């Protein structure tokens, strides 16, 4: 065993990646990746009690996420023989696009294995960069196993999505930019899937500004890193259950665990509902599209999972490759969680004549009717009336409650069911 290794056989963080490795990666990536913007948000600072909040917008990076940084850095260091044979990678989507674009830029054939849950938009984007895409496995782990098998069978280099020194170093360039753009930084929040991004960022901060707190964020349904730190051993989940498929990993691996346990200060979890709120507010307030994984750090800040009162907080928005229909559903779910949207089932006496009255009632009260359609009839519906579903969006719980009351008061219309929490509007049933 190497004398630099810890007693349990896990390498030290410096054995995995150093600041010099990240700085070398920055030189390789200088003409390849965007220096993504840092967007200051007064709204999120006020909501969280932070002194300031800076959104590091990796969702506007090439390929729509930070993953091109690590993928290119790793593939640029392959030997001529390895480049000639090609590479294979497994990914839930963003790493796939990073490897695919790096392959095109470096003239390396790339095969990407993705799980069945990968959004179609990410698959098509990966193919658009020229890679071959193989869909295999119900979760990422199955895709990973298949990718490893392909690498062994066909003599390809496997480009790991996170458990690789060069990948971690490439992702760490986000940290270099963050410190340059936000020198007053006190705390940085970073999503954790397999741990590559936070390992790279934490390496930079541990060496450049060790007083900065590094906090990882995971969804409740894929919360493995904190138990790993508490047990001082890698904890693997039997399965995952979260809307954030981009960080739906079951565990850290040896290299990321080594860095996380030495250089990350804490890991917190957020619920899928809290993720939906963050996605909605990023779209509304920051005018930016973030996938649920990319919104996880903001969810932690706004939900109170991280106490950042009076601090300057960096929030890494790691990706924006959202399926638009799923993004819309998440935004609606987030608005509902905020008490700003409700879906209701109406019983209408005169359909479709009542359409105009329904629309006018909502519009007159300054709200938005964003869904209106006939519903499937059930045994509980009055056979002489038409069941209708509506979606109402307003400025807050009291406003939405007022609109629902107005609809219920219309002649020939009754609100028979809704998902609105009337107590949040200061009223009881």
Catalytic machinery residues: 67, 318
Rounded to whole angstroms, how far apart are CA atoms 255 and 2? Answer: 15
Rounded to whole angstroms, how far apart are CA atoms 93 and 297? Answer: 19
CB-CB neighbours of 75 under 10 Å:
25
The first and second tokens of residue 299, run together, are 């969810």
Rounded to whole angstroms, how far apart are CA atoms 302 and 70? Answer: 29
The first and second tokens of residue 84, run together, are 């000639």
Strand arrangement, sheet containing 38-40? 38-40, 52-57, 312-317, 187-191, 213-219, 266-270
CB 140 within 8 A of CB 115: yes
Q: What is the largest CA-CA distance in the chain?
A: 82
CB-CB neighbours of 368 under 10 Å:
14
């Amino acid at each position: 065993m190497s004398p630099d290794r810890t007693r349990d056989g896990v390498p030290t963080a410096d054995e995995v990646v150093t600041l010099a490795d990240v700085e070398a990666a920055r030189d390789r990536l200088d003409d390849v990746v965007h220096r993504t913007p840092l967007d200051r948000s007064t709204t999120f600072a006020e909501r969280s009690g932070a002194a300031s909040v800076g959104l590091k917008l990796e969702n506007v990076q090439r390929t729509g996420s930070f993953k091109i940084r690590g993928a290119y850095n790793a593939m640029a260091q392959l030997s001529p023989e390895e480049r000639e044979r090609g590479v294979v990678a497994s990914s839930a989507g963003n790493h796939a696009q990073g490897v695919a674009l790096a392959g095109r830029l470096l003239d390396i054939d790339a095969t990407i294995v993705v799980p069945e849950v990968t959004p179609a938009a990410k698959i098509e984007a990966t193919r658009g960069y020229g890679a071959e895409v193989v869909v295999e496995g119900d979760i990422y782990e199955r895709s990973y196993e298949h990718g490893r098998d392909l690498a062994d069978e066909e003599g390809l280099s496997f480009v790991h999505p996170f458990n690789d020194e060069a990948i971690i170093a490439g992702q760490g360039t986000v940290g270099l930019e963050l410190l340059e753009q936000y020198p007053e930084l006190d705390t940085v929040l970073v999503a954790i899937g397999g741990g590559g991004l936070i390992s790279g960022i934490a390496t930079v901060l541990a060496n450049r500004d060790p007083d900065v707190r590094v906090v990882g964020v995971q969804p409740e349904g894929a919360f493995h890193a904190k138990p790993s730190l508490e047990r001082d051993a890698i904890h693997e989940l039997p399965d995952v259950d979260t809307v954030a498929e981009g960080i739906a990993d079951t565990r850290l691996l040896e290299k990321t665990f080594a860095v996380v346990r030495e250089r990350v200060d804490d890991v917190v979890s957020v619920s899928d509902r809290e993720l939906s709120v963050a996605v909605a507010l990023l779209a509304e307030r920051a005018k930016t599209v973030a996938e649920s994984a990319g919104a996880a750090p903001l969810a932690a800040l706004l939900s109170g999972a991280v106490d950042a009162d009076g601090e300057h907080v960096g929030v890494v928005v790691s990706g924006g490759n959202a399926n638009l229909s799923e993004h819309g559903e998440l935004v609606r779910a987030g608005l509902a969680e905020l008490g700003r949207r409700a879906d209701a089932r109406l019983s209408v006496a005169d359909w479709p004549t009542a359409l105009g009255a329904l629309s006018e009632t909502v519009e007159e009260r300054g709200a938005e009717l964003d869904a209106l359609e006939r519903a499937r009839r059930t045994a509980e519906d009055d056979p002489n009336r038409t069941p209708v579903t509506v979606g109402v969006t307003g400025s807050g719980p009291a406003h939405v409650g007022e609109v629902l009351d107005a609809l219920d008061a219309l002649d020939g219309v009754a609100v028979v069911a809704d998902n609105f929490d009337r107590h949040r509007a200061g009223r009881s049933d």
